[in-house]
Amino acid sequence: QVQLVESGGGLVQAGGSLRLSCAASGPTFSSYAMGWFRQAPGKEREFVSAIAWKGGNTYYADSVKGRFTISRDNAKNTVYLQMNSLKPEDTAVYYCAADVRPTIATMTFKDEYDYWGQGTQVTVSS
């Protein structure tokens, strides 16, 4: 069983920055692919970013490419999402997820993730 706890959400003005953190339980965090997804009201949960187990491969949705950066610290069992140049359309609940049997080919697929955090709200005002 893996537990994920997100933090760092909040209210920010357009153009501002936030850094989300996701702390994971379990001794084999370094073997998991980790992803960030988001869900806005009335919309489906969508992929935002993912990072491979060693941190060498990272992926981004086109909508956040160049503005968001994913990273991980395996010594701290934590994955981060640095969000810069935030836009009102980035407003959503952001979820951290863990894929405990990852493959490079499926890291952007929501259904491949096994464990999810409770989510943290990000609100960007115009």
The rounded average pLDDT for each run of 10 residues, N- to C-terminus, in the chain (126 residues) is 95 98 91 96 97 89 98 95 98 96 88 96 97
> What's the pLDDT score for residue 56?
79
pLDDT of residue 10: 97
* Residue-level pLDDT at 54: 81
Planar angle of CA 56, 59, 65, nearest 5 degrees: 125
What pLDDT does residue 33 have? 94
pLDDT recorded at residue 19: 98
CA dihedral 59, 76, 85, 96 (to 10 degrees): 60
